[in-house]
Chain A
Amino acid sequence: MKKFQVYGALMLLGASVMLTSCLKNEEEDIFDKSASERLDDAKVYYSDILTAEGGKWQMEYYANSDEHGYVYLMTFNKNGQVTISGQNEYIGYELDPLSTGAKVYASQTSLWEVVADNGPVLSFNSYNPVFHIFASPYDIPPYTENGTDESGTGHEGDYEFDLMKYSNDTLYIEGKKREIKMIMTRVDANVDDQIYMNYVTAMADSFFHPKVPMVFMNLPNDKRYAIMNGSTQIVTMWDFDKDRISYETTHNAIVNHDGFALMNPYDAGGYTVQRFVLGDKGTLRCVENPAITVDAGYLNTDVMFNYNTVRKCELDTTKYVHGWTLQPSGLTGDFAAAYQAMITEVNKSTRALNEIYIARLDSISYNQVALVNPKVPFLSYAMVVKVQMKPGAYTSIILPLVPTCEGEDQVSMVLDDATTTAGRNLLNALASIRDFIAMIDGKKFTITAENLLSPTTLKLAPSGDGSSTMEFTVR
């Protein structure tokens, strides 16, 4: 009996082996072609995409996770050459050892190829001084003339990129070593590289203003996220209703031809944001959710004049807006006439009108602050009329300013008496200045700005009367 059990077991074993073997053979191929053939097809596919329609692309390049991005313009030729144009300070150092760090434009041609690795890889496989500077092991600029103390680290950038996906004229790529995700977007082949890069550089230099370091991301649910230090393209962001120190996170970003983008997506209270394009009046509109906008919030006078808000946003107040300078050339209507009257009267008295500005009192020089009427709350604002009495000697009429913000773009200004003896004497001596101040004191103004993301110029017009305006620029 035992022997029959053994035979039965052996037969079952044999049958199972046979079935296994048959199952293996019956497995159908998922793909029509082998992996190698598909990889070869992918190389052709991406090569064709890169060279199609003139082959011009903008690459948003990140060398590492601690540095902002750099825009490159690349033109891929079917003959295996690629012309790469860029404009940044490192190109300047690379091409000119005497460079002082200027953002130099340069365009150089080298080789490219889509090669096979684990998948299709875009490789810039011959040296291009415009592009490979970020992959070079050398320090830029070198610490020493002969570079003998080189650490071999450089910027640790990639020059080979896994081709991940193509969609809507956008190539999604990933640095092969550093695994940083980047994108390339198709550009009109007729675009002039230098004009394009000059434009991007100008955008990067002016898009955000270092003296307007904080802007706001306005969410559809009326919440705001602060974005700090956009001009460095390495931004700090946090929920503005929460404590900055506890909630801020830092992100590297890039200013590109069309706007601004973060290297990685950011979760702003449930809204995922990454890319922003320029909208009306310089505001940014989120690509992922167009209802989300970014602006400086300066028309919200609470931000412009309320120091507590400033203090909440900016730990280092010395970096924040110090004030606003009246621009005589930007005066219109009654303000222009009143200003001209001041000039005329001051000049007759052998003095000269130096400038008029609004500033926080803590940014006005110590002596002036010390003379401020103690009843005026510390850290409020003042309007300053600065008059040159004789060569090298100035007297300022410091008028403590109590701004009252109404709504998002209305401000009432109440100016106190001049609070220094010299200033009061000067004010008493010059009627035209008293007249000009009277046009401001106790009046309500509507604030407008041409650029809402970097409002370095503000226009104040009496509410309901646009015929007369004052223009202030950031100090």
Chain B
Amino acid sequence: MKSVKLYISALLLSSVALLPMSSCSDDKLGDTIFPEITDELDPSAYTYKFDLWLQKNYLEPYNVKFNYKLADIDADMNYNLVPADYDKAVDLALLTKYLWFDVYDKIAGKDLLKETSPRVLQLVGSAALNPNTGSETVGLAEGGVKVTLFNVNRLNVYDFQRLNDGALHTMHHEYTHILHQKKNYPTEFNRLSVGRYDASNWSSRGDAEGGVVNSLGFITKYASSDYREDFAETVSCYITMTDAQWNRALDLASRGWFNYVSDTTDDWFCFYYYDNNQASDDTKRYIRESSVVTDEAGNMSTGAYQKAVTPYVNDTTYTIEGEMIINQLDANGFRVSTTNPGLVVDASGKLIPIKVYPVEDEDEIDGRSIILQKLNIARKWLADDWGIDLDAIREEVQWRQRNYNIADLRKQITDITN
């Protein structure tokens, strides 16, 4: 009897369970609630040719959406941003293709960018200035999916240097992030500058040009903020910096630097001299590189003369900044001014050049060597893990940025027929 009761119970339960299921089985999945999305472009639209070009050059070959229009929803609502100027967006789309996508296609093969490029490139007309911190964001890579480029409206497409500063360097930087987010680079890189990163104050570190951070082993100030940014900066700077710029950074990295602080000055110097060439702690003066002159023999001078005072008077005040103007009499006896008369010592011995010395490098950090070690790690990782020849990429980018013709590139769009 007990088993019968259990049987009835089970029957009741199963019937109760089945009833709602049978009710639900009447449901049908209807048509999609979303309107049909079509890639068909409107030939009457003002942007038709550009949109078609984007479709053929970004969407179809790489599955990349080049978003040149800005909707608030596409950007951080906490920032005050404006859209990109249409004509600038067109130029940047062409240059991005020419100086980034085409380069990687040529050097690393067509599939690389198709697999690794961000899915969305978003242009923003203005800078991303954070009202709370006062900092500026020049680019954003969000999870390898979207790269946002700011300040497009201030681009100068006729000057590749400004183009690099404004956009192209950022693209290579953000793309490097995408690559290392997919495959880790060797942690050996992170150890090279461990303890020297400063996430909070990187923008105000050292001198304005970045020589101090170079000497610490970072290619830029931003590189000194964090090891991941260091990696992206090392790669992107190597690709986009000209030979002169790269060698300059390595040169600055080799120098000694001194932070001279007084009531009126807080700056970094890598040269100094002594008043009247009289070496003492009291007469030691630090000098900017722009005021240093080097003769053929490599002797460094301030480029200015000081009047030799015999005996030397300690409280004599001299002005060394910049080029010294010396009043002289011309052949007719009129007083004239000349600038920077060179290193010729006056025969009378009254005017003497001021010898300049490099600041001793006492931090025991070989900045140049560290930067090159970082570059080698990146170079090997790109080759081994991605099949990318970094030097070939650099060579191709350098050639293209020296030789591109924006008017010719624009024809790709203007020559499209409706």
Q: How far is the CA of A115 from the CA of B71 in the complex (A)?
A: 9
User: Which chain B positions have C-beta within 8 A of A115?
Assistant: 71
Give the residue among B72, B88, B131, B153 with the most A Cβ atoms within 10 A. Answer: B72
Q: How far is the CA of A117 from the CA of B73 in the complex (A)?
A: 8
Binds B, one of A132-140, A412-420, A429-437: A132-140
B129 close to A (CB within 8 Å):
yes
User: Which chain A positions have C-beta within 8 A of B153?
Assistant: 127
A185 close to B (CB within 8 Å):
no
User: Which chain B positions have C-beta within 8 A of A472?
Assistant: none
Q: How far is the CA of A137 from the CA of B135 in the complex (A)?
A: 12
A451 close to B (CB within 8 Å):
no
B125 close to A (CB within 8 Å):
yes
Q: How far is the CA of A151 from the CA of B79 in the complex (A)?
A: 11
Residue contact A152 to B33, C-beta cutoff 8 Å: no
B68 close to A (CB within 8 Å):
yes
User: Which chain B positions have C-beta within 8 A of A135?
Assistant: 80-82
Q: How far is the CA of A170 from the CA of B180 in the complex (A)?
A: 53
A248 close to B (CB within 8 Å):
no
A189 close to B (CB within 8 Å):
no
Known interface pairs A18-B19, A135-B80, A137-B81. Does A150 touch B129 (Cβ–Cβ under 8 Å)? Answer: yes
Residue contact A78 to B79, C-beta cutoff 8 Å: no
Give the nearest-CB partner of B22 in chain A.
A18
Residue contact A152 to B13, C-beta cutoff 8 Å: no
Known interface pairs A11-B16, A17-B20, A132-B83. Does A152 touch B129 (Cβ–Cβ under 8 Å)? Answer: yes
B245 close to A (CB within 8 Å):
no
Q: How far is the CA of A125 from the CA of B85 in the complex (A)?
A: 9
User: Which chain B positions have C-beta within 8 A of A110?
Assistant: 85-86
Q: How far is the CA of A57 from the CA of B86 in the complex (A)?
A: 22
Residue contact B13 to A81, C-beta cutoff 8 Å: no
Give the nearest-CB partner of A17 in chain B.
B20
Residue contact B125 to A111, C-beta cutoff 8 Å: no
Minimum C-beta distance from B72 to chain A (A):
5
B38 close to A (CB within 8 Å):
no
Residue contact B80 to A126, C-beta cutoff 8 Å: no
Known interface pairs A110-B86, A132-B125. Does A78 touch B44 (Cβ–Cβ under 8 Å)? Answer: yes
B35 close to A (CB within 8 Å):
yes
Give the nearest-CB partner of B67 in chain A.
A125
Residue contact A81 to B46, C-beta cutoff 8 Å: yes
Binds B, one of A34-42, A281-289, A295-303: A34-42
| Size of A's binding interface in residues, CB under 8 A | 49
Residue contact A127 to B80, C-beta cutoff 8 Å: no
Q: How far is the CA of A27 from the CA of B24 in the complex (A)?
A: 14
A25 close to B (CB within 8 Å):
yes
Residue contact B84 to A127, C-beta cutoff 8 Å: yes
A42-94 residues at the B interface, CB under 8 angstroms: 77-81
B283 close to A (CB within 8 Å):
no
Q: How far is the CA of A390 from the CA of B78 in the complex (A)?
A: 68
Binds B, one of A153-161, A325-333, A350-358, A381-389: A153-161
A366 close to B (CB within 8 Å):
no
Residue contact A37 to B33, C-beta cutoff 8 Å: yes
Known interface pairs A3-B5, A127-B83, A152-B130. Does A79 touch B71 (Cβ–Cβ under 8 Å)? Answer: no
Residue contact B13 to A10, C-beta cutoff 8 Å: yes
B312 close to A (CB within 8 Å):
no
Residue contact B17 to A152, C-beta cutoff 8 Å: no
User: Which chain A positions have C-beta within 8 A of B72?
Assistant: 160, 176-177
For chain B, which range describes its interface: under 10, 10 to 19, 20 to 34, or 35 or more residues?
Answer: 35 or more
Residue contact A111 to B24, C-beta cutoff 8 Å: no
User: Which chain A positions have C-beta within 8 A of B71?
Assistant: 115, 117, 121, 123, 125, 160
User: Which chain B positions have C-beta within 8 A of A152?
Assistant: 79-80, 127-131, 134, 136
Minimum C-beta distance from B164 to chain A (A):
18
B337 close to A (CB within 8 Å):
no
A14 close to B (CB within 8 Å):
yes
Known interface pairs A125-B70, A126-B86, A127-B85. Does A151 touch B33 (Cβ–Cβ under 8 Å)? Answer: no
Minimum C-beta distance from B152 to chain A (A):
8
Q: How far is the CA of A160 from the CA of B82 in the complex (A)?
A: 10
**Binary contact track B337-377/A, C-beta < 8 Å → 1, others 0:** 00000000000000000000000000000000000000000
User: Which chain A positions have C-beta within 8 A of B334?
Assistant: none
**Binary contact track B265-276/A, C-beta < 8 Å → 1, others 0:** 000000000000
Residue contact A154 to B47, C-beta cutoff 8 Å: no
B83-97 residues at the A interface, CB under 8 angstroms: 83-86, 88-89
Q: How far is the CA of A361 from the CA of B89 in the complex (A)?
A: 64
Residue contact B131 to A127, C-beta cutoff 8 Å: no
Minimum C-beta distance from A330 to chain B (A):
51
A193 close to B (CB within 8 Å):
no
Residue contact A126 to B45, C-beta cutoff 8 Å: no
Q: How far is the CA of A121 from the CA of B73 in the complex (A)?
A: 11
Residue contact A111 to B86, C-beta cutoff 8 Å: yes
User: Which chain A positions have C-beta within 8 A of B80?
Assistant: 135-137, 152-154, 156
Q: How far is the CA of A100 from the CA of B134 in the complex (A)?
A: 27
Minimum C-beta distance from A23 to chain B (A):
10
A98 close to B (CB within 8 Å):
no
Give the nearest-CB partner of B81 in chain A.
A137
Minimum C-beta distance from B318 to chain A (A):
32
Known interface pairs A18-B20, A79-B45. Does A37 touch B35 (Cβ–Cβ under 8 Å)? Answer: yes
B188 close to A (CB within 8 Å):
no
Residue contact B24 to A21, C-beta cutoff 8 Å: yes
Residue contact B34 to A36, C-beta cutoff 8 Å: yes
A164 close to B (CB within 8 Å):
no
B414 close to A (CB within 8 Å):
no
Q: How far is the CA of A392 from the CA of B82 in the complex (A)?
A: 58
Known interface pairs A25-B26, A81-B46, A125-B69. Does A11 touch B33 (Cβ–Cβ under 8 Å)? Answer: no
> Apart from A36-B34, A151-B131, what are 10 other A-B pairs with CB-CB below 8 Å?
A14-B12, A14-B16, A18-B20, A21-B23, A79-B46, A111-B86, A126-B68, A132-B82, A150-B129, A152-B80
8 closest A-B pairs by beta carbon, nearest first, are: A14-B16, A152-B129, A34-B33, A125-B69, A137-B80, A127-B85, A132-B82, A18-B19
User: 23 A-B residue contacts at CB 8 Å?
Assistant: A10-B13, A14-B12, A14-B17, A17-B20, A20-B20, A37-B33, A79-B46, A81-B46, A121-B71, A125-B69, A126-B86, A127-B85, A127-B86, A127-B153, A132-B83, A135-B80, A136-B80, A136-B126, A150-B129, A152-B80, A152-B127, A152-B130, A152-B134
Q: Which residues of A contact B (CB under 8 A)?
A: 3, 7, 10-11, 13-15, 17-18, 20-22, 25, 34-37, 40, 77-81, 110-111, 113, 115, 117, 121, 123-127, 132, 135-138, 150-154, 156, 159-160, 176-177
